[in-house]
Amino acid sequence: MEQSELIDPDWVALTWVTRGIECFFLSFRVSEMNRHSGFDQFLNAMGLELICKGYLLAVHRAEYKDLREKEAKEKVNSLARNWGHNLRNLIKEIKNNIGNETIQPFLEKEFRGFKQKENPHQKNKDLPRTVLSAIEAAYWESRYPVPHPFYKDKLFSVDGIEDAYFDPLCSSDIPQFCYEFCRVTLADLKEKYDISLPISWFNQKMPGDEGERFGNLLFGARKKDFFLEN
């Protein structure tokens, strides 16, 4: 079998991860225009899903790396579809590879500054408090009118004001969660698979001052750690 007939697992992982980061960038741009549109958080949810699947495709490379290109792409598509859209399950599988100590805090991360009320009908008292639950809700609520919005079900009520709520889907905790998780997965991809982001891709897709501001938010002081100069 000729090497040219094979698919590069690093390319597969990067294709999904970079698409996820592009979703984050578009969310960043939308939020600067209208932070309360809701579409920015849908894009963050999509970006997080793509990055999770990109990481898992690197982990599961043995399932497609020796197949011919057409069959390999079909296998990749099948894997991604079978993983579905459940972010919690995707992150739990990533936890099995990166480790509980690093990933479990993401599953439990709560909103900062929200005094949430207990819902007596909610069996799992911890679930309503998590940022991840809000991201999962944003995936649907930003696209469809829903009868029970996340903030009302979870009782993010404002003290002393009747029928007034904080809306956690507008919180900056959501993009911060996504960016932090992205950094963790990128660091592990680099350490275990020597996969880094092409700097030329970033400069082309996220140019100028806007791209610089976004890059500072996404990568912080560690920006150079994640890029391959090319």
Q: What is the DSSP pairing of strand 197-198 with strand 227-228?
A: parallel
Q: Is 144 helix (H, G, I), strand (E, B) or coil?
A: coil
Cα 30 to Cα 11, 48, 66: the distances in Å are 28, 17, 41
How far, in Å, CA of 142 to CA of 78, rounded? 27
pTM: 0.87
CB hemisphere CA count around 99 (13 angstroms): 4
Q: What is the pLDDT along the chain (230 residues), one digit of tens a residue?
A: 344 588 999 999 999 999 999 999 999 999 888 766 668 999 999 999 999 999 999 999 999 999 999 999 999 999 999 999 999 999 999 999 999 999 999 999 888 755 544 544 444 444 456 899 989 988 888 888 888 888 775 556 667 677 777 777 888 999 999 999 999 999 999 999 999 999 999 999 999 999 999 999 999 887 888 888 65
Phi-psi region of 133 (alpha: psi -120 to 50; beta: other; left: phi over 0): alpha
